[in-house]
Amino acid sequence: MTAPLARTLTIAGSDSGGGAGIQADLKTMQELGAYGMSVLTALTAQDTVGVHGIHEVPPAFVRAQLDAVALDIGVDAAKTGMLASAGIIAEVADGVRRHGITNLVVDPVAASKHGDPLLRPDAVDALRTELLPLALLATPNLGEVALLTGVQVTHPRDLRRAAAAVKSLGPAWVLIKGGHLPGNAAATDLLYDGDQALEITSERLETRDTHGTGDTLASAITVALAQGHDMPAAVWSGKEFVTGAIRHGLRLGKGIGPLDHAWRRRTGPAP
Ligand SMILES: Nc1ncnc2c1ncn2[C@@H]1O[C@H](COP(=O)(O)OP(=O)(O)OP(=O)(O)O)[C@@H](O)[C@H]1O
Ligand SMILES: [Mg+2]
């Protein structure tokens, strides 16, 4: 008997460059064998160099998209990315509750890889108080940890304190991403459930083409959760997928290039 197709949803912004946002999410879901759906929160005019414009979707239309896919198709697991405004966050939190979406990965996106803001400053509080308490997993990078909790991570030993501070905002699990930890030979993330802390580590790859790493990781974890894996297994499988996609990063554009989401098909099965 074949397993039912995992139904996965991304609630995020569009990256016209195709490397991050819903494009990265849907490519990841497709590559990992899930069925991908999307609720768009904003359009960005974006490339490998930066974000050149943002056009937000009205909150009521975010609600309409979420109701459409949740009521008709159903959602086994969802992830959020760029949410842009407090009004959109309120609709997403309300929809997640109404539709009983419990497999929820909240990637609290605040800025693009280039540092361009993707979240209004007055929306940080809504993220903190309305959405993070609903998350099964929160996946902040170090900048987002500082924004949400005030904790500055400058050394791997700070990761545990950062995880505890994010955990206190309500998610069941926290994954602190160490991608931005300078001078570290490993790319180490810390998974924490309020009790145990688990280091999720790979080698740090020498590349500038890391556009969309966080979105890709969160989407791969979402697929694994939808397929029924427990959290540590889901995070390890996400880490393995994103590391391969970074290793095979694409030298496209004049700035920070995208990952190769199709790396497993192009390189063949692992030996
Ligand atoms: N150079 C690298 N080599 C290996 N792994 C990396 C590298 N850079 C980031 N990672 C890994 O990629 C994943 C995403 O982490 P990162 O901190 O880059 O997220 P992010 O800042 O949210 O990304 P984005 O800006 O694309 O949203 C983590 O597992 C991190 O350890
Ligand atoms: Mg990110």
Give me ligand 1 centre to Cα 21, in Å.
Answer: 14
Query: Is there an atom of ligand 1 within 6 Å of 246 CB?
Result: yes
Give me ligand 2 centre to Cα 3, in Å.
Answer: 31
Sign of the dihedral through C-alpha 208, 180, 55, 15: positive
Which pLDDT score is estimated for 168?
98
Give me ligand 2 centre to Cα 81, in Å.
Answer: 8
Residues with C-beta atoms within 5 A of ion ligand 2: 214
- At 114, the pLDDT band (50, 70, 90 cuts) reads confident
- At 267, the pLDDT band (50, 70, 90 cuts) reads confident
Write the CB contacts of 49 (distance below 8 Å, at least 6 apart in sequence). 114, 253, 254, 255, 256
Query: Is there an atom of ligand 1 within 6 Å of 141 CB?
Result: yes
Give me ligand 1 centre to Cα 72, in Å.
Answer: 34
Write the CB contacts of 74 (distance below 8 Å, at least 6 apart in sequence). 7
Which pLDDT score is estimated for 65?
98
Closest-CA residue, ligand 1 atom 22, reads 214
Residue-wise pLDDT for 8-34, tens only, equals: 999 999 999 999 999 999 999 999 999
Residue-wise pLDDT for 185-238, tens only, equals: 899 999 999 999 999 999 999 999 999 999 999 999 999 999 999 999 999 999
Give me ligand 1 centre to Cα 179, in Å.
Answer: 4
- The first and second tokens of residue 9, run together, are 């949803």
- At 66, the pLDDT band (50, 70, 90 cuts) reads very high
Mean predicted confidence (pLDDT) in 62-76: 98
Task: For residue 160, count other CB atoms closer than 10 A to its CB.
Answer: 14
Which pLDDT score is estimated for 231?
98
Query: Is there an atom of ligand 1 within 6 Å of 217 CB?
Result: yes
pTM, entire model: 0.97
Query: Is there an atom of ligand 1 within 6 Å of 27 CB?
Result: no
Sign of the dihedral through C-alpha 188, 191, 194, 197: negative
Closest-CA residue, ligand 1 atom 4, reads 204
Eight-state DSSP code of residue 84? B
Which pLDDT score is estimated for 236?
98
- At 182, the pLDDT band (50, 70, 90 cuts) reads confident
Which pLDDT score is estimated for 53?
97
Q: Where are the alpha helices (DSSP H) in 150-251?
A: 159-167, 213-226, 231-247
Which pLDDT score is estimated for 1?
57
Residue-wise pLDDT for 84-103, tens only, equals: 999 999 999 999 999 999 99
